[in-house]
């Protein structure tokens, strides 16, 4: 399995501590939206988490906040069936988006939340960044590039976060990261730094906290 450094030395201790303190504070669910009219007014800057079903979005949100059940997790793809909004200490909102690429939840329901997600990503002024989660065992897929193209057109900055790094060999992980970096060069809104994380071991979580805290 891949061995990840405990701390990215490009972050100062102060930046890491600021991220830790932000995500150690209260984080509460405040809205869920399956349709565009249900989208709540923004409470301030927002960070959204997007990705294919079963990529580990809810697990990552839980790991960032140091909780086990803040965001609902499941071994069954497609369980997050609405946009879920969480208030992080009145400073930042975290938005857990429905996964894409899983069709067995019913075409009508999937189409409804896909429309809502796209409307949210295209028109949310307060959206500061999208964390695009990609399974480190598989790399980017067609659905990921569709979202990347949408975000390019909407001028929304997004950052690829490779998940489940504890389940990937070191050489495979390095190859996936390199291939992803090459793809990102073709996308104008892509953040150049790729984060590598494991919700199981906590690898990469302090660095991602620090990076997101810097957006506030």
**pLDDT tens per residue, range 114-132:** 889 999 999 899 999 999 9
b/e code 142-171 from CB counts within 10 Å (16+ = b)? ebbeebbebbeebebebbbbbbbbbebeee
Q: Percentage of residues in the chain with pLDDT exceeding 70?
A: 85
Q: pTM score, two decimals?
A: 0.89
What strand order describes the sheet that includes 195-196? 27-33, 83-88, 92-96, 46-51, 127-135, 158-163, 195-196
pLDDT of 81 above 90: no
Q: What is the pLDDT of residue 1?
A: 47
What average pLDDT does the structure give for the chain? 88
Query: Which of 176, 216, 188, 205 is CA-nearest to residue 20?
Result: 205
Cβ-contact 214, 173 below 8 angstroms: no
| pLDDT of 137 | 94
Helix ranges restricted to H, 44-165 = 57-65, 107-123, 142-154
Using alpha carbons, select from 120, 130, 118 the residue that is nearest to residue 48: 130
13 pLDDT above the threshold of 50: yes
Cα(69)–Cα(67) distance, integer angstroms:
6
17-37: b (≥16 Cβ within 10 Å) or e: ebbbebbeeebeeebebbeee
Instruction: Read off the pLDDT band of 26 (50, 70, 90).
Output: very high
Q: Residue 76's pLDDT band (boundaries 50, 70, 90)?
A: very low
pLDDT reading at 2 higher than 80:
no
């Amino acid at each position: 399995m891949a061995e990840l450094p405990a701390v990215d030395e490009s972050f100062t201790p102060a930046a890491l501590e600021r991220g830790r303190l932000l995500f150690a504070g209260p984080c509460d669910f405040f809205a869920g939206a399956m349709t565009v009219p249900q989208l709540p007014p923004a409470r301030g800057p927002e960070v959204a988490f997007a990705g294919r079903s079963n990529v580990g979005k809810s697990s990552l949100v839980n790991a960032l906040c140091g909780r086990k059940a803040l965001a609902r997790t499941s071994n069954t793809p497609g369980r997050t069936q609405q946009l879920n909004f969480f208030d992080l200490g009145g400073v930042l909102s975290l938005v857990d988006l429905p996964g894409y690429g899983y069709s067995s939840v019913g075409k009508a329901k999937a189409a409804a939340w896909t429309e809502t997600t796209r409307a949210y990503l295209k028109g949310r002024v307060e959206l500061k960044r999208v964390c695009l989660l990609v399974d480190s065992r598989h790399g980017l897929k067609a659905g990921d590039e569709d979202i990347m193209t949408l975000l390019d057109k909407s001028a929304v900055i997004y950052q690829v976060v490779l998940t489940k790094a504890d389940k990937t060999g070191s050489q495979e992980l390095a190859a996936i990261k390199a291939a992803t970096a090459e793809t990102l060069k073709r996308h104008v809104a892509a953040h150049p730094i790729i984060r590598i994380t494991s919700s199981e071991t906590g690898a990469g979580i302090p660095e991602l906290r620090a990076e997101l805290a810097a957006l506030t």
